[in-house]
């Protein structure tokens, strides 16, 4: 990828030239930005400033200065996603937001409520659904929609409509649906806009897990109008870990009575307990509730406005960043697939790769009928099914120990694939390098090195 011009005609090259802005080990290539993100040195310096101020004058900062600075970051996020200021608060991560919603909802005593999700739900969120079922004393059940890629968006939307219709035909009540903006594994764009419209049409609450969202997708929450939305800022917005914004429109804030854990902002219906923290009577109870959730290091929340300023002033703004990420993921993924002799996971309309991650199939498959690695007629390496975990573990260890990188290797619909993340400090050379490294490791698997 070549350099592009800043709006002020200053040349700000994306790619290798930007790596110095991040505190990476010089030998490390961060090709898995989608898991833990990365913050630039400039934003990390602001993080240290906030922490130092908290240590210098703890009470003054935490009780009085922190809420004002938190409001500045809330305002910055609200403007970016086009949401009213007092519909946006912060939580540590997207999984926390999902937990907050499911632990606050009240299930009907008739036991007919259902939680609808998809088989590609993020693991921790899937387990949160499990917990809601297990702790619900029979008041709520689950309905999972099986997804096997590649699929067209309308097929997913149709499957959701059928699931709701089936639920109701069986005497159930589909109360809330959980779905992604971009699925984590495989890293593909999900039709969340269409699903949100359908949820409104069908009278189902929408809970969008946008863990892979802000910073790599354009978001307009006023237009989208979900019932609940949470997105990690530390993944794609260059904010230090751990930070996510949590959006709840005014119409639903009465449903979210407790933070996680419950803290000073909770207002019981039966007992009155004092709140020892300063209260701003101009803010909704929802905002006051999430302002202080125990004594935690919430300094990353304060850096959101700084990260957005850095992205605007140094990188040229959100549109330029997103365009680069999507283009790099698409072009880089194709180069990796060409090197491996495979293809990118994509559908006919090309919507799955409309994000900053790309999934490329490996030239490896497993078979229960083979006793040792062999080469199939289509050129694929075939290994014994029982060796799958051992081979993947071996490949990951070699990626880390020999090549100083990490690339997720997973399976979907019987195929092995890798997920690569595009980012402003990477370019197509990084993807080509990854392709050759993966090709070499696949060849070594074919030679049975993973059993040595």
In a domain, 35, yes or no: no
pLDDT, greater one: 275 or 112: 112
Question: Could you identify the residue written with the tokens 């081979």?
Answer: 391
Asked if the model's pLDDT at residue 10 lies above 60, the reply is: no
Question: Could you identify the residue written with the tokens 């990951």?
Answer: 396
Q: What is the mean pLDDT of the chain?
A: 93
Asked if the model's pLDDT at residue 377 lies above 50, the reply is: yes
Residues 112 and 257 in one domain: yes
Domain CATH code at residue 435? 3.90.1150.10
pLDDT band at 291 (very low <50, low <70, confident <90, very high): confident
Residues 323 and 296 in one domain: no
Asked if the model's pLDDT at residue 144 lies above 50, the reply is: yes
pLDDT for 378 equals 84
Question: Could you identify the residue written with the tokens 């922490």?
Answer: 51
Residues 207 and 178 in one domain: yes
Rounded CA gap, 248 and 87, in Å?
5
The 10s digit of each residue's pLDDT in 395-409 is 999 999 999 999 999
Q: What is the mean pLDDT of residues 179-186?
A: 96
Rounded CA gap, 36 and 242, in Å?
9
Asked if the model's pLDDT at residue 446 lies above 60, the reply is: yes
Residues 327 and 297 in one domain: no
Asked if the model's pLDDT at residue 302 lies above 80, the reply is: yes
In a domain, 7, yes or no: no
Q: Which of 307, 336, 358 is the last residue of a domain?
A: 307
pLDDT band at 6 (very low <50, low <70, confident <90, very high): very low
pLDDT for 424 equals 97
pLDDT for 360 equals 98
The 10s digit of each residue's pLDDT in 416-442 is 999 999 999 999 999 999 999 999 999
Report yes or no: 339 and 235 within 8 Å, Cβ to Cβ: no
In a domain, 116, yes or no: yes
- Fill in the DSSP letter of residue 206: E
pLDDT for 57 equals 96
pLDDT, greater one: 376 or 317: 317
| H or E stretch at 273 | none
142 bridge partner residues = 115
pLDDT band at 367 (very low <50, low <70, confident <90, very high): confident
Residues 101 and 240 in one domain: yes
The 10s digit of each residue's pLDDT in 90-142 is 999 999 999 999 999 999 999 999 999 999 999 999 999 999 999 988 899 99
Q: Which of 286, 307, 328 is the last residue of a domain?
A: 307
Asked if the model's pLDDT at residue 63 lies above 70, the reply is: yes
| CA-based R_g, the chain, Å | 23
pLDDT for 137 equals 83
Report yes or no: 235 and 36 within 8 Å, Cβ to Cβ: yes
Report yes or no: 304 and 243 within 8 Å, Cβ to Cβ: yes
Domain CATH code at residue 234? 3.40.640.10
Asked if the model's pLDDT at residue 5 lies above 70, the reply is: no
Rounded CA gap, 364 and 370, in Å?
13
Q: What percent of the chain has pLDDT over 70?
A: 98
pLDDT for 170 equals 97
Q: Which domain holds residue 125?
A: 50-307
pLDDT for 8 equals 44
pLDDT for 336 equals 98
Residues 212 and 355 in one domain: no
User: Which residues does 159 contact at the CB level (< 8 Å), separation at least 6?
Assistant: 145, 147
Question: Could you identify the residue written with the tokens 């229960």?
Answer: 368
The 10s digit of each residue's pLDDT in 190-243 is 999 999 999 999 999 999 999 999 999 999 999 999 999 999 999 999 999 999
Residues 285 and 160 in one domain: yes
Task: Give me 165's structure tokens.
Answer: 């219709």
pLDDT for 1 equals 36
Residues 167 and 199 in one domain: yes
In a domain, 265, yes or no: yes
Number of domains forming the structure of the chain: 2
Q: Which of 254, 275, 307 is the last residue of a domain?
A: 307
Report yes or no: 37 and 290 within 8 Å, Cβ to Cβ: no
Report yes or no: 362 and 342 within 8 Å, Cβ to Cβ: yes
Least confident range of 256-265, 273-282, 433-442: 273-282
Phi, psi dihedrals of residue 11, rounded to the nearest 5°: -80, 115
Residues 250 and 377 in one domain: no
Least confident range of 218-222, 272-276, 444-448: 272-276
In a domain, 1, yes or no: no
pLDDT band at 4 (very low <50, low <70, confident <90, very high): very low
């Amino acid at each position: 990828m070549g350099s592009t011009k800043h709006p002020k005609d200053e040349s700000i090259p994306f790619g290798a030239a930007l790596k110095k802005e991040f505190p990476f080990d010089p030998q490390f290539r961060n090709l898995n930005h989608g898991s833990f993100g990365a913050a630039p040195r400039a934003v990390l310096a602001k993080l240290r400033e906030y922490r130092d101020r908290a240590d210098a004058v703890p009470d003054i900062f935490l009780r009085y200065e922190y809420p004002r600075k938190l409001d500045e970051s809330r305002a910055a996020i609200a403007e970016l996603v086009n949401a009213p200021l007092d519909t946006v608060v912060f939580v540590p991560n997207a999984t926390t937001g999902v937990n907050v919603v499911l632990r606050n909802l009240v299930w009907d005593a008739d036991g007919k409520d259902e939680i609808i999700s998809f088989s590609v739900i993020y693991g921790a969120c899937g387990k949160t659904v499990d917990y809601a079922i297990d702790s619900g004393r029979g008041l709520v059940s689950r309905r999972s929609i099986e997804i096997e890629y590649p699929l067209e968006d309308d097929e997913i939307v149709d499957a959701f409509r059928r699931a709701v219709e089936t639920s109701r035909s069986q005497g159930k009540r589909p109360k809330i649906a959980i779905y992604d903006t971009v699925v984590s594994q495989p890293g593909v764009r999900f039709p969340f806009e269409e699903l949100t419209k359908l949820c409104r049409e069908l009278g189902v609450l929408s809970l969008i897990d946008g863990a892979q969202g802000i910073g790599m997708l354009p978001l307009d929450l006023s237009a989208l109008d979900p019932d609940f939305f949470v997105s990690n800022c530390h993944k794609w917005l260059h904010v230090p870990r751990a930070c996510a914004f949590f959006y709840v429109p005014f119409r639903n804030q009465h449903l979210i009575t407790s933070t996680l854990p419950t803290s000073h902002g909770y207002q019981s219906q039966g007992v009155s307990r004092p709140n020892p923290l300063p209260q701003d009577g101009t803010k909704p109870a929802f905002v006051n509730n999430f302002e202080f959730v125990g004594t935690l290091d919430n300094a990353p929340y304060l850096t959101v406005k700084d990260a957005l300023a850095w992205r605007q002033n140094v990188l040229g703004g959100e549109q330029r960043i997103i365009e680069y990420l999507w283009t790099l993921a698409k072009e880089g993924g194709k180069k990796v697939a060409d090197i491996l002799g495979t293809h990118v996971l994509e559908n006919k309309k090309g919507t799955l790769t409309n994000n900053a991650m790309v999934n490329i199939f490996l030239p490896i498959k497993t078979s229960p009928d083979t006793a040792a690695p062999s080469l199939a007629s289509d050129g694929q390496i075939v290994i014994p099914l029982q060796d799958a975990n051992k081979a993947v573990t071996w490949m990951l260890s070699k990626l880390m120990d020999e090549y100083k990188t990490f690339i997720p290797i997973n399976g979907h619909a019987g195929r092995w694939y890798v997920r690569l993340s595009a980012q402003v400090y990477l370019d197509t050379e990084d993807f080509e390098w990854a392709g050759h490294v993966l090709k070499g490791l696949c060849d070594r698997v074919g030679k049975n090195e993973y059993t040595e």
